[in-house]
Structure 1
Amino acid sequence: MLDRTPTFLLNIDNSASPTQRPTAVPDNDSLLDSYSHAVSGVVDRIGSAVVRVEPQVSGRTAGMGSGVIISPDGLLLTNSHVMQGARDAKLTGSDGHTIEARVIGDDPDTDLALLRASGDRLPFATLGDSKRLKRGQIAIAIGNPLGFESTVTAGVVSALGRSLRARSGRLIDDVIQTDAALNPGNSGGPLVATSGQVIGINTAVIMGAQGICFAVASNTASFVVSELIRHGRVRRASIGIAGQTVPLPRRISYAAGLNGTFGVVIAAVEPGSPADHAQLEQGDVILSLDGEPVGGVDDLVRLLNGEWIGRFVELKILKNGEMRTATIMPVERKTRTAHAE
């Protein structure tokens, strides 16, 4: 019997280009396997750099958290609230080996503490660039929740650029929100991308909520590490006032060229401070700092970073109902009082 299959059908099939052929859709098993490989690969690469952190006070354990070694010579990041002011800590690795560590510097304003672990050629993880993160990106948390050693959880980066209030009262900017499951004991452990780089230091869980957890961004951590190594502290500027956030009349906002409708009213001026030298007074309202709008006390705190110390900056203020400009030289903030900068 003759083959009566039309030749044009055969020709179309034989000449089809790769781009015209249907793409095979991976099944659920292969997709899950890729996800599993991504997560387990990260754990294999940096799991040994994650340790249990036990602060030591007078030779006794005073709490527990997690930490991550970020250099082969033993630099380690954890949370300030894990250390609770302790100067020493015992570290326990995933293999059960213990070493000692001592605090280099502590920054409650970002809830970060930097320690130096004893030993060299230690396993370590590297800090990545948190500015390159995207929502929906896989995020892996490694730590010791509730004392369960080397626990791994995974989720995604839920949101970026969040703000979280530290125990010191200061807002931590550029915080990462994730749904990777965190529990007490995860604090201070790393949040890791599939590249194996640390993208955040886990810091907080919203009690009573499900899947809402936070990590201090790795770029913030990098800045804090460099400051603590150089100065033993994170330097921040102060102008010597206590202030309160107040609403502004719409006409004032418009005249000042501000988008916001709030400013900072000066409640008190510290004698001999930069604000005192610049003749700022109680009742003056700060509208902007060096051209940046000041929409509240938190904005002023955020803007007064270490780069302004010893440099003249321009304040736009409202004094006795009139807008004026004042030049001021911030100094390094020594101690913190509530709502004072």
Structure 2
Amino acid sequence: MNEFKWNEDDFEKDIIEEEQPKKEKRKFGVKTLAASIALTMVISISGYALLNPAITKFVEGFSKNNSVAIKQNDESINKALENITPNAVATPLNQTPTGEKMEIPDIADKVGPAVVGVINKTTYANSFPYSYYGFAPDGTQTEIEQGSGSGILISADGYVVTNHHVVEGATSLSVILSTGTEYTATLIGSDERTDLALLKIEGDSFPYATFGDSNALRVGELCVAIGNPLGQELAGTVTVGYISALNRSVTIDNKTLTLIQTDAAINPGNSGGALVNQYGQVIGINTAKISSSNLEGLGFAIPTAEATPILSDLMQSGYVKGRPVIGISGSAITAQQAKRYGLVEGVYVYSMSAGSPANLSGIKVGDIITECNGTKVKTVDELNDIKNQYKPGDTINLKVYRGGQNIDIALILAEEMPN
């Protein structure tokens, strides 16, 4: 079976072990740079209670949405946002191509310096015992896992676009220019839903790329991919291909993205790199490939038309504004499960946060949402599809099943905020 994968899955990761003085620490599981897309695609809630013991058993295995993002204090984020001014030299977005089509070496010369390496370091304490010849050493072992991807400088003052899955779980981030110079990077914002992230490095005269209009692409056009496959050793690699298809719906880790398909080689480490048109404009952010021993030449990129509004929100606010949220974590109850446990099909609510729209509306943990605005819903995706037609402040009408009864609930949507 074919499997779509983020391009960092096969990264070589360096593990550095350090011995620290023995003291109590939080313990973290081993993190990888693989995209950790939530099964339910809803707001993260820590902890949940099951009020209906009849279905406790089959929800025990549901994964919780542990969000991503580098842990930074508010001061560092606010400081970075304060540096954004209306006059900042940012990349012109969605420009109409001007001039003649460029030769491939000229495209590489123009865009290559703006493509960078993104280094993600994750520090964690070893959660299992280790010993030398049977004797455990004093102290605690700390391991640093390092992965790398690509990114694109989009402004002279150091804004870098990359993939969410490249920066996910990072303890620290750095950016390496095509010259080999390394800069500490600040995570301005990251959006798991679209697999986009925005970083900032300090400076004022960086080479940067311009965005073209991905909506103007035609199948069969030549394109160039620039990135760092397999890490910094192969930084600035240029591959050439064609636009194979447009508006491909690709599901990766239970998230569906609309992507550009290309046969330009996009390998592990290319994630976050540039897909460029014949005019030297970035028209896609490389993100995924199909992994199969029988297939080649199936790479995918996020269209700039999709990325532009997301990056604008991340740059100005640190998160994507205007997304409505219900405020639950839930999972679908299938027809088979409903029959087995004497329930109904719908979205089972297994957690919510205090003060969320769901909590304020009277929804309870253990409820099963069966309708939204008169339309039956059987999955979280179906519920989200209807919810996403509205904006924060709008009211939606839900029908929930509770204790053998159907209850009508009016819920006022709130704006989804970063965790």
Q: TM-score, normalised by structure 1?
A: 0.69
- Given candidates 344, 349, 364, the residue that maps to 1:268 is 349
Q: CA RMSD in A?
A: 3.7
List per-residue Cα deviations over 1:118-141 (Å, max 9, x = no partner): 211211012222222222222211
List per-residue Cα deviations over 1:255-288 (Å, max 9, x = no partner): xxxxxxxxx8231274764345556683442355
**Matched residue type, 2:327:** G
Equivalent residue runs for 1:65-80 within 5 Å: 65-80=149-164
Between 1 and 2, higher relative CO (CA 8 Å, sep ≥ 6) is seen in 2
Answer yes or no: is the 8 Å Cα contact 1:108–1:166 preserved in 2: no
Answer yes or no: is the 8 Å Cα contact 1:288–1:294 preserved in 2: no
Q: Which residue of 1 aligns with 2:130?
A: none
| Mapped partners of 1:101, 1:111: distance in 2 | 18
Q: Secondary structure at the match of 2:296?
A: coil
* 2:157 maps to 1:92: no
Q: Which residue of 2 aligns with 1:238?
A: 325
**Matched residue type, 1:244:** A
| Mapped partners of 1:40, 1:277: distance in 2 | 59
Q: Secondary structure at the match of 1:125?
A: coil
Q: Secondary structure at the match of 1:308?
A: coil
**Matched residue type, 1:199:** I
**Matched residue type, 2:310:** V
| Mapped partners of 1:245, 1:138: distance in 2 | 46
- Given candidates 394, 397, 404, the residue that maps to 1:312 is 394
- Given candidates 370, 384, 387, the residue that maps to 1:285 is 370
List per-residue Cα deviations over 1:147-197 (Å, max 9, x = no partner): 312111121222222233455x4x243222211111111111011111222
Question: Could you say if the C-alpha distance between residues 296 and 160 of structure 1 is closer, same or farther in structure 2, counting changes exceeding 3 Å?
Answer: farther
| Mapped partners of 1:268, 1:61: distance in 2 | 36
| Mapped partners of 2:390, 2:230: distance in 1 | 40
Answer yes or no: is the 8 Å Cα contact 2:347–2:380 preserved in 1: no
Equivalent residue runs for 1:126-205 within 5 Å: 126-147=210-231, 148-165=234-251, 169=254, 171-205=255-289
| Mapped partners of 1:136, 1:120: distance in 2 | 38
Q: Which residue of 2 aligns with 1:104?
A: 188
- What is the CA distance between 1:77 and its match in structure 2? 0.7
Q: Secondary structure at the match of 1:126?
A: coil
Answer yes or no: is the 8 Å Cα contact 2:154–2:209 preserved in 1: yes
Identity level (%): 38
Bigger proportion of residues as helix: 1
| Mapped partners of 2:302, 2:144: distance in 1 | 28
| Mapped partners of 1:198, 1:233: distance in 2 | 23
**Which entry has the higher C-alpha Rg, 1 or 2?**
1
Q: Which residue of 2 aligns with 1:53?
A: 118
> Greater shift after overlay, 52-61 or 205-214?
52-61
Structure 1 stretches of 4+ moved >6 Å: 58-61, 323-326
**Matched residue type, 1:266:** V
Q: Secondary structure at the match of 2:278?
A: coil
Answer yes or no: is the 8 Å Cα contact 2:349–2:369 preserved in 1: no
- What is the CA distance between 1:42 and its match in structure 2? 1.7
Q: Secondary structure at the match of 2:291?
A: coil
**Matched residue type, 2:324:** A
| Mapped partners of 1:43, 1:80: distance in 2 | 25
| Mapped partners of 2:153, 2:186: distance in 1 | 13
| Mapped partners of 1:114, 1:226: distance in 2 | 10
Q: Which residue of 2 aligns with 1:23?
A: none
Unpaired segments of 5 or more residues in structure 1?
1-35, 248-263, 337-341
Question: Could you say if the C-alpha distance between residues 246 and 106 of structure 1 is closer, same or farther in structure 2, counting changes exceeding 3 Å?
Answer: same
Question: Could you say if the C-alpha distance between residues 326 and 158 of structure 1 is closer, same or farther in structure 2, counting changes exceeding 3 Å?
Answer: farther
| Mapped partners of 1:152, 1:141: distance in 2 | 6
Q: TM-score, normalised by structure 2?
A: 0.57
Q: Which residue of 2 aligns with 1:22?
A: none
Q: Which residue of 1 aligns with 2:59?
A: none
- What is the CA distance between 1:206 and its match in structure 2? 1.5
| Mapped partners of 1:37, 1:127: distance in 2 | 15
**Matched residue type, 1:298:** D
Answer yes or no: is the 8 Å Cα contact 2:319–2:418 preserved in 1: no
Q: Secondary structure at the match of 1:54?
A: strand
Question: Could you say if the C-alpha distance between residues 221 and 43 of structure 1 is closer, same or farther in structure 2, counting changes exceeding 3 Å?
Answer: same
| Mapped partners of 2:380, 2:215: distance in 1 | 25
| Mapped partners of 1:300, 1:151: distance in 2 | 42
Q: Secondary structure at the match of 2:218?
A: coil
The aligned length equals 282
* 2:312 maps to 1:226: yes
